[in-house]
């Protein structure tokens, strides 16, 4: 079973997590919304899979390249 | 005049207000979040107080905390800058209750002008034009179509509860109406849970033109001409110009009269801006009131350059109870342009690019070049606040001269460590359409690819 981390493309903060452990995500589904410089930036699933881990919590700061969610196909 | 004031803001505007205070001999009290401990505004102020953690809602937006610092530091007034609490009636009211001067309008004026619908109704009631439309409760298909016919084609159908560009459609003629109405109703229902729609005139070539106004405590209202802020991305201004081009004298005087009428109708005190849309797609010079900003605006320096005045100083003078000079004492000359340098990457959908500003330098300042910024080389551009790094303001004899100066200046600005929009700003200055004539708010959307491509290639 292949696992893959969805990473943050920006430096910012986690505003809202819109998925949960065990949820099924299709490619392009929004998993969480980050906030940076007063902009909301959605984080989308880069491939289809099941959410096996959420690696951050709401309000936490994240940096570019940091893993946010682990998907398993 | 005041002895000591508190500045409830950060970044370039806090630094800019401090500058005027220093010139006038007013002591300054800065507030800062934990993320801004080493910020320029903190160092420039006479004293500074931490008001909480990085997120603005836990620091720069906490009215009680700011008021507490104002009281303990014995500040006589609070300057709110723009953004944050500048148009929040709660701070204005709290200042009133605490006997501290709020450098902005009283709470009731912020309430009226802050709610867009109320502001438009107020404008309509004194015959200041607003975008022709139908906002009524009768949602019968035939009624709506009759109103569209009356307003004229093309029209816009949009969700009454809408926002953010969703649930709206352009309708070119009567034949398209029924189908578009059904589509907007469906979208309105699913996005906003309410299928009520409004019908408005569709502005094909909107230009964003605003009039700077001032009002004192003695019933005198002054205008300071126009600013053209039509170059925008996602409703955020990118380039602003004063006095703007391609506006007839007749149109300018009608807009100024409308702005002054509004300011006097609400007995406005302080500095403010009345924003209009001018429909460049029509030949009747139609313009419509869109909103009023009851604060100093980001782009105020271009008005300062052409009038040779300091608007922040006027905020102090008016609040201290002094009378404004008569209109004929305010005379404009020359042409000013402001460009906003932002920490963002236009080629990647204007993605924010916070980070360490390793190097930031600008050419030698002069009477033709002003740079307002809250950052120095080595500062961190924080993801917690907006992306504005600096405002470059140039002053020339003519628009052509100012455009050339802006282009030269931007090319000599050095910014390293983060991506910025400087290449896009230069492309705009070098764009033939922009150089030739006034543009409308569709400009960046229309020419976006063209503006971004050559620079990319040159850099690649």
The residue of chain B nearest to residue A41, with distances taken between CA atoms, is B351
Helices vs. strands in chain B: H and E counts, helices first: 15, 23
Q: Which two tokens stand for residue A47?
A: 């491939």
Mutate one of A36, A43, A60, A64 to test the B interface: name it (highest B CB count within 10 A): A36
- Determine the pLDDT at residue B163: 67
Give the pLDDT of residue B165.
Answer: 65
pTM of the predicted protein model: 0.91
Q: Which sign, positive or negative, has the C-alpha torsion B259, B264, B265, B268?
A: positive
Torsion of CA B109, B114, B120, B124, to 10 degrees: 0
Q: How many whole angstroms separate alpha carbon B247 and alpha carbon A4? A: 57
Element (H, E) at B20: helix B11-24
ipTM: 0.79
- Residue B352 at interface with chain A, using a CB cutoff of 8 Å: yes
As its CATH architecture, domain B133-201 has 2-Layer Sandwich (3.30)
Measured between alpha carbons, how far is B66 from B195 in angstroms, rounded to an integer? 42
What is the count of residue pairs from A and B with beta carbons less than 8 Å apart? 37
CATH number at residue A60: 2.40.50.100
CB-CB under 8 Å, B387 with A41: no
CATH architecture of B4-103: 3-Layer(aba) Sandwich (3.40)
Active site residue B256: no
Cα(B434)–Cα(B327) distance, integer angstroms: 32
Question: Out of A9, A36, A59, whose CB is closest to B354?
Answer: A36
Burial of B448 (0-12, 13-18, 19+ CB in 10 A): middle
Which residues partner with B390 through β-bridges? B341, B373
Question: Taking CA atoms, what residue in A is nearest to B350?
Answer: A39
What is the distance between the alpha carbons of residues B342 and B344, in angstroms, rounded to a whole number?
6
Cβ of B383 and A39 within 8 Å? no
Whether residue B204 contacts residue B263, with contact meaning beta carbons closer than 8 Å, is answered with: no
For residue A34, cis peptide bond before it (omega within 30 degrees of 0): no
- Distance from the first to the final alpha carbon of chain B: 55
How many domains is chain A built from?
A: 1
Give one word for A36, left, alpha or beta, with left for phi > 0 and alpha for psi -120 to 50.
beta
Point out the catalytic residue in the list B227, B295, B370, B399. Answer: B295
| Distance (Å, whole) CA B306 – CA B303 | 5
Q: Which domain holds residue A45?
A: 3-72
What are the residue ranges spanned by the domains of chain B?
4-103, 133-201, 206-459
Average pLDDT, integer, range A56-61? 94
Q: What is the pLDDT of residue A20?
A: 95
Report chain A residues whose CB lies below 8 A from the CB of B384.
13
First to last CA, chain A: 6
pLDDT tens digits for chain B (460 residues)?
899 999 999 999 999 999 999 999 999 999 999 999 999 999 999 999 999 999 999 999 999 999 999 999 999 999 999 999 999 999 999 999 999 999 999 999 998 887 777 888 899 999 999 999 998 899 999 999 999 999 999 999 998 887 666 788 999 999 999 999 999 999 888 878 889 999 999 999 999 999 999 999 999 999 999 999 999 998 899 999 999 999 999 999 999 999 999 999 999 999 999 999 999 988 889 999 999 999 999 999 999 999 999 999 999 999 999 999 999 999 999 999 999 999 999 998 899 999 999 999 999 999 999 999 999 999 999 999 999 999 999 999 999 999 999 999 999 999 999 999 999 999 999 999 999 999 999 999 999 888 988 554 444 3
Taking CB atoms and an 8 Å cutoff, what residues of chain B touch A38?
Answer: 385-387
**CA nearest neighbour of B5 among B86, B75, B89:** B75
Superfamily of domain B206-459: ATP-grasp fold, B domain (3.30.470.20)
Which residues, in sequence order, are CB contacts of B424 under 8 Å at separation 6+?
B238, B346, B451, B452, B455
Collapsed DSSP state (helix, strand, coil) of residue B8: coil
Residues of chain A with C-beta less than 8 angstroms from the C-beta of B354:
10-12, 36-37
How far CA B204 is from CA of A27, B133, B143, B280, B408, in Å, comes to: 37, 15, 24, 8, 33
For residue B383, give the nearest of A9, A13, A59 by CB distance: A13
Contacts of B391 (CB under 8 A, 6+ apart): B12, B298, B299, B301, B338, B339, B340, B341, B371, B372, B373
Within an 8 Å CB–CB cutoff, is residue B454 touching chain A?
no
Q: How does pLDDT run across A9-18, given as a tens digit for each residue?
A: 999 999 999 9
Q: Rounded to whole angstroms, what are the CA distances from B196 to B133, B141, B163, B192? A: 14, 11, 13, 10
């Amino acid at each position: 079973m292949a696992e893959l981390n969805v990473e943050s493309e920006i430096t910012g903060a986690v505003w809202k997590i819109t998925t949960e452990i065990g949820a099924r995500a299709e490619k392009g589904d929004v998993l969480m919304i980050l906030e940076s410089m007063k902009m909301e930036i959605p984080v989308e699933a880069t491939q289809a899979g099941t959410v096996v881990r959420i690696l951050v919590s709401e309000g936490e700061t994240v940096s570019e390249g940091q893993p946010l969610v682990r998907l398993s196909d | 005049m005041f002895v000591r004031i508190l500045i409830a803001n950060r970044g370039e505007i806090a630094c800019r207000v401090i500058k005027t205070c220093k010139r006038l001999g007013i002591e300054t009290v800065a507030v800062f979040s934990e993320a801004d401990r080493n910020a320029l505004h903190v160092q420039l102020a006479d004293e500074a107080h931490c008001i909480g953690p990085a997120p603005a809602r836990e620091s720069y937006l906490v009215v009680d905390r700011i008021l507490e610092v104002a009281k303990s530091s014995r500040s006589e007034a609070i300057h709110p800058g723009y953004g944050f609490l500048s148009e929040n009636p709660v701070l204005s009211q709290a200042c009133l209750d605490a006997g501290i001067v709020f450098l902005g309008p009283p709470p009731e004026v912020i309430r009226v002008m802050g709610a867009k619908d109320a502001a438009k109704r107020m404008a309509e009631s004194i015959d200041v034009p607003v975008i022709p439309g139908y906002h009524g409760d009768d949602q019968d298909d035939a009624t709506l179509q009759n109103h569209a016919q009356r307003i004229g084609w093309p029209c816009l159908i949009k969700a009454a509860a809408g926002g953010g560009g969703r649930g709206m459609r352009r309708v070119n003629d009567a034949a398209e109406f029924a189908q578009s109405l059904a589509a907007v109703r469906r979208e309105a229902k699913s996005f906003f849970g309410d299928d009520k729609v409004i019908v408005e005139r569709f502005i094909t070539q909107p230009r964003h033109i605003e009039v700077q106004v001032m009002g004192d405590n003695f019933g005198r209202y002054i205008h300071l001409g126009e600013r053209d802020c039509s170059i925008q991305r996602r409703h955020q201004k990118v380039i602003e110009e004063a006095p703007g081009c391609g506006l007839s004298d007749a149109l300018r005087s009608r807009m100024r009269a409308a702005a002054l009428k509004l300011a006097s109708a609400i007995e406005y005190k302080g500095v403010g801006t009345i924003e209009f849309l001018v429909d460049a797609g029509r030949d009747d010079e139609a313009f419509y009131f869109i909103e009023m900003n009851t604060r100093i605006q980001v782009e105020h320096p271009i008005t300062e350059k052409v009038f040779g005045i300091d608007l922040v100083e006027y905020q102090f003078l008016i609040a201290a109870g002094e009378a404004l000079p008569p209109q004929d004492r305010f005379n404009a000359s020359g042409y000013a342009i402001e460009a906003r340098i932002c920490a963002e990457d236009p080629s990647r959908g204007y993605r924010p690019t916070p980070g360490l500003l390793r190097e930031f330098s600008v050419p030698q300042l002069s009477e033709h070049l002003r740079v307002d910024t809250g950052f120095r080389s080595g500062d961190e551009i924080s993801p917690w606040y907006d992306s504005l790094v600096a405002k470059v303001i140039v002053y020339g004899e003519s628009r052509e001269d100012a455009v050339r100066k802006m282009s030269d200046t931007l090319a000599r600005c050095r910014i390293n460590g983060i991506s910025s929009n400087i290449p896009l700003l230069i492309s705009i200055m070098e764009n033939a359409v922009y150089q030739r004539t006034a543009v409308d708010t569709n400009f960046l959307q229309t020419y976006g690819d063209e503006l971004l491509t050559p620079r990319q290639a040159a850099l690649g």
